[in-house]
Chain A
Amino acid sequence: MSANSDQTKESDDNQAMEMTSEDSYQSESEADSDSESTPLQSLWNSLRASMSTSMFERTETKLFLPRDTFEQILSRTEGGLSGRRKLILEVMGIESSRPSEDDRALAEYILDSAQKVFLIAVYIQLEQLHAAMKLFKVSQYKDEKLPVEERTARELDDTPRRHEFERMENRQRDRRRKDRKKNPKRIWDIHTISKFQDNQWTFLIPIISAHDQNCNFDSRCPIPFTTKNAQQRSGAHGIVYKYTIHPAHYKNSLHQVIHVIVQD
């Protein structure tokens, strides 16, 4: 639950602007027409509908995807693992009736170790989703590597190819050149990288746990407090607020049995 503290960060205000302007990815009419939508649009709608809003004073209005909805969204289809694999492939625009071995392996890679990476890519409506996920798989880029290194727009503009995603793609393109394959359109550029790095925090929500004390959360990361009560109290060193933590992001030993022998 630690985060890079030396990464360049945008101001909270900028993020709030970005996070609250996410509806620009898809119009409301598109979101409402779930029955006629493609699997990709349908998944996007599910993501959007499952978002909660952080009420923590410093990340107020920021959206976040509770961790329990990952499982719910990806297991919504019937048919167990094959059903989930089918959903993943359909979202990536792959005909799922007779998938290739590579695509089956890609779907399993996503389900096993890159669910967040996949959902972020879906959420930012990455154009070449299938190619991007293949690139992630080849590069062994998994959820555990998130958050992706962040660059400001100026840094990306100056030296975009130094970004991790750019480097991944360049290596792939070099290999393709050797194989004399035609270079496809680039997946990662300043716009797609910016979208990914800006929206990744929506999916990287910490768990508040009694067992992990003194965690350091990135200031861009929404804190999963879902209600804030007007009640507050001033103490010797600060102010006390009443919050509700999203149950999927709370591990509390408060209600567990504590075995302490006290001799009175």
Chain B
Amino acid sequence: MRANGGSQYETEPSVVAVKAFRTGGKNVAGDVKREVDALAKMNQLGQKHIVRFITSFQRGTQEDLEHYVLFEWADGGNLSDFWHQPQTPKRTASLVKWVIEQLCGLSRALRAAHYMPNGACYRHGDLKPGNILWFPDSDGYGTLKIGDWGEAKIHNQVTALRHGRVDTTAKYGTRRYEPPETGLHPLLPKGTPHVRSRLYDLWGMGCIILEFIIWLLYDHEELSRFNNSNQGYFGPSDMFYEISHEISHERVVRIHRVVEHWMEHMAKDGRCHSGETALGILLQIVRTGLLVTKLPEDSGPAGSADNGMPSFPHDDSPLISVTTPDSTTHEIIHDSSPNPRTRFPAHKLETELLRIVQLGGGEHYWYRNQGPRSAPGDIIGMPHLPVPTGHRAHSDVLTTPAIDMVDYAHPSLDPEEWELELDNDFAATLSSRLRSIMGMSPHETPQSAKLCTICRDFQGRLLDAEFAISYATQILRINSEAKSCDLCYLLWQNCRDKLDGGCESVHLQRTGSAIRIRGLKHPVLTVLRSDGKSPL
């Protein structure tokens, strides 16, 4: 049970979190050193909202070192665990106040890391709910802290602030919370340096705060629905932004329409009235200062942004236009609106969040208990969804636009060199998400297939432990061309390129879920199972 308060969460002093680094990878020692250096610097900041690093050690020989890093243990888990606790905290003014205070603390911690006393800057690089750890206590909701500085990098201020340039070297980071700068990078001219700025983290904070507001207004189920709702429909975007084709040679980056849809809906909720309630102001900060694609030209400590309250004009999200690499002009980024807002730096966010606390009035300011209002509906099938961009006409919004997203292309490797790994958990998760989005299983049971005698034998013996079968190449080809046997057709389509000329027969064998041509490593077919059935 995860309830706030209670001695069950009292952490013994000698209980620690031990992070075991993966061994065998390239430059693990370098990764460890970088993280430990960053962690030591974070400790020096003395920030309450940064997970405290305890120590590190290694085991083994120089050739085979294992690396371990110790932290204080977060008994509550992470922010996702907080949101998904079985006994969800009652929505009250004190809960909202606690949330705002925690967000203040997190932004203060981020500001401290971004603007170190010696002029250096550490940016986290992988802010997401899973990296905000929850330390429950006995007399309140506990404390949220930023953890996992594994992607943290130091850089001096000059290089950190190069406008419009991003670092895509994060190897294992979650992409959902990545800012649009990352998606834009493949569109920039070749050779553009990879530098990830501090503002990368502010986008992540915007995503986290938005999810927090959704959880506060609704519940974790609606939050899960939100998290699944922008997948697949507008293309492969799992992020809070999307990049779409506009006029010729131009791509448009904007807040994902599903995200914008949810924010629009929540802004109309009485509990979220802008300027009147804490949550309303918080949502405005997200919309106008965090989930903002435009970056300031100068985001130094003083920054170009003033320290006053942001103005909250109810216009739409700004756009960034990017010329494509094959365009004749190589102007990288230009504004599309006359006075676009830019993303807040950390100190600005902290100031704005503190202002929410300072403005604090009565219970009504913190939380208006006016009964639950429903969450936004799905936008799939809504032909006239308001388009948040305003300045541009998007007549094709609900046809799947051609979208250029992050470059996911595989490096050029010989497939025969790949290590294939069976991952039923991944497949089950993906299948479940697809079902929730599409309302159907991605692998419906097909109609009965036409099978030749050999293929019926194939079907009958497939589950045998040592399954192997041989086909005459000519039969396979003839059955395929005549489409007299569906399995022969499938096999021929997948095998013909792999057969040496003049090869009279094809020998197939099953290893686990893979059907391979004998002697070749790469499978020609993969055997699937239905959900809930045992793996092969």
Question: With the chains together, A58 CA to B65 CA distance in Å?
Answer: 12
Of residues 128 through 153 on chain A, the ones whose CB sits less than 8 Å from some CB of chain B are none
**Which chain A residue has the least Cβ–Cβ distance from B126?**
A236
Question: With the chains together, A264 CA to B36 CA distance in Å?
Answer: 26
A254/B13 in contact, CB under 8 A: yes
Using A237-B31, A237-B150, A237-B172 as known contacts, say yes or no to A219 and B16 having CB atoms under 8 A apart: no
A244/B54 in contact, CB under 8 A: no
- Give the interface SS of chain B, mostly helix, strand, loop or mixed: mixed
| Number of A-B pairs, beta carbon distance below 8 Å | 115
B40/A243 in contact, CB under 8 A: no
Query: Of the candidates A216, A233, A252, A260, which one forms a contact with B59 in the assembled complex, judged by CB atoms under 8 Å apart?
Result: A216
Using A246-B14, A260-B46 as known contacts, say yes or no to A237 and B56 having CB atoms under 8 A apart: no
Query: Of the candidates B21, B55, B61, which one forms a contact with A6 in the assembled complex, judged by CB atoms under 8 Å apart?
Result: B61
The segment from B66-74, B268-276, B409-417, B475-483 that touches chain A is B66-74
CB distance from A262 to the nearest CB of B (A): 6
B19/A219 in contact, CB under 8 A: no
A254/B72 in contact, CB under 8 A: yes
- B interface residues, Cβ below 8 angstroms from A: 12-22, 31, 35-36, 40, 44-47, 52, 54-62, 65-66, 70-73, 77-78, 108, 112, 126, 148, 150-151, 170-173
B15/A244 in contact, CB under 8 A: yes
Query: Of the candidates A5, A215, A241, A246, which one forms a contact with B57 in the assembled complex, judged by CB atoms under 8 Å apart?
Result: A215
Q: Which residues of A contact B148 (CB under 8 A)?
A: 235-236
Q: Which residues of B contact A175 (CB under 8 A)?
A: none
**Residue A70 at the chain B interface, CB threshold 8 Å:** no
Question: With the chains together, A262 CA to B59 CA distance in Å?
Answer: 36
Of residues 31 through 82 on chain A, the ones whose CB sits less than 8 Å from some CB of chain B are 57-58
B17/A236 in contact, CB under 8 A: no
Question: With the chains together, A252 CA to B40 CA distance in Å?
Answer: 14
CB distance from B168 to the nearest CB of A (A): 15
Using A236-B126, A241-B20, A262-B112 as known contacts, say yes or no to A252 and B13 having CB atoms under 8 A apart: yes
Q: Which residues of A contact B40 (CB under 8 A)?
A: 213
CB distance from A56 to the nearest CB of B (A): 8
**Which chain A residue has the least Cβ–Cβ distance from B174?**
A236
CB distance from A235 to the nearest CB of B (A): 5
B73/A238 in contact, CB under 8 A: no
Question: With the chains together, A264 CA to B31 CA distance in Å?
Answer: 32
B20/A242 in contact, CB under 8 A: no
B57/A236 in contact, CB under 8 A: no
B151/A241 in contact, CB under 8 A: no
Using A219-B61, A262-B46 as known contacts, say yes or no to A213 and B172 having CB atoms under 8 A apart: no
Q: Which residues of A contact B57 (CB under 8 A)?
A: 206, 208, 213-217
How many interface residues does A have (CB within 8 Å)? 43
Q: Which residues of B contact A245 (CB under 8 A)?
A: 14-16
Q: Which residues of A contact B150 (CB under 8 A)?
A: 235-237
B172/A236 in contact, CB under 8 A: yes
Using A58-B66, A240-B17 as known contacts, say yes or no to A212 and B59 having CB atoms under 8 A apart: no
B59/A219 in contact, CB under 8 A: yes
Query: Of the candidates B46, B54, B58, B170, which one forms a contact with A210 in the assembled complex, judged by CB atoms under 8 Å apart?
Result: B54
Q: Which residues of B contact A216 (CB under 8 A)?
A: 57-59, 65
Question: With the chains together, A212 CA to B58 CA distance in Å?
Answer: 12
CB distance from A169 to the nearest CB of B (A): 30
Q: Interface digits, A216-253 against B, CB 8 Å rule (1 contact, 0 not)?
A: 11110101010000000101111111111111001010
A236/B151 in contact, CB under 8 A: yes
Q: Which residues of A contact B58 (CB under 8 A)?
A: 214-217
A-B contact pairs, 11 of them (CB 8 A): A206-B57, A215-B55, A217-B59, A236-B150, A237-B31, A238-B19, A238-B20, A245-B15, A250-B14, A254-B54, A262-B47
Using A213-B56, A236-B148, A243-B18 as known contacts, say yes or no to A5 and B45 having CB atoms under 8 A apart: no
**Which chain B residue has the least Cβ–Cβ distance from A235?**
B148
Q: Which residues of A contact B171 (CB under 8 A)?
A: 236
Q: Which residues of A contact B54 (CB under 8 A)?
A: 208, 210, 252, 254
Query: Of the candidates B52, B62, B173, which one forms a contact with A254 in the assembled complex, judged by CB atoms under 8 Å apart?
Result: B52
**Which chain A residue has the least Cβ–Cβ distance from B63?**
A5
A213/B36 in contact, CB under 8 A: yes
Question: With the chains together, A213 CA to B41 CA distance in Å?
Answer: 13
- Which A-B residue pairs are the 3 nearest by beta carbons? A260-B46, A238-B21, A236-B172
Q: Which residues of A contact B78 (CB under 8 A)?
A: 233
Q: Which residues of B contact A238 (CB under 8 A)?
A: 19-22
**Residue A154 at the chain B interface, CB threshold 8 Å:** no
A255/B13 in contact, CB under 8 A: yes
Of residues 173 through 231 on chain A, the ones whose CB sits less than 8 Å from some CB of chain B are 206, 208-219, 221, 223, 225
Question: With the chains together, A233 CA to B79 CA distance in Å?
Answer: 13
Tell me which of B57, B78, B171 has the highest count of chain A C-beta atoms within 10 A of its own C-beta. B57
B20/A57 in contact, CB under 8 A: yes
Question: With the chains together, A216 CA to B61 CA distance in Å?
Answer: 9
CB distance from A2 to the nearest CB of B (A): 10
Question: With the chains together, A258 CA to B104 CA distance in Å?
Answer: 21
Question: With the chains together, A211 CA to B58 CA distance in Å?
Answer: 15
Q: Which residues of B contact A9 (CB under 8 A)?
A: 61
CB distance from A227 to the nearest CB of B (A): 8
Question: With the chains together, A247 CA to B31 CA distance in Å?
Answer: 30
B22/A258 in contact, CB under 8 A: no
Q: Which residues of B contact A244 (CB under 8 A)?
A: 12, 14-16
Question: With the chains together, A6 CA to B62 CA distance in Å?
Answer: 9
CB distance from A150 to the nearest CB of B (A): 13
Q: Which residues of B contact A221 (CB under 8 A)?
A: 59
**Which chain A residue has the least Cβ–Cβ distance from B61?**
A5
Using A238-B21, A260-B44, A260-B46 as known contacts, say yes or no to A212 and B16 having CB atoms under 8 A apart: no
CB distance from B400 to the nearest CB of A (A): 32
Q: Which residues of B contact A214 (CB under 8 A)?
A: 36, 56-58
Instruction: With A58-B66, A235-B148, A237-B172 given, name 10 new contacts (CB 8 A).
Output: A5-B60, A213-B55, A215-B58, A219-B61, A237-B21, A237-B35, A238-B20, A240-B19, A252-B14, A254-B52
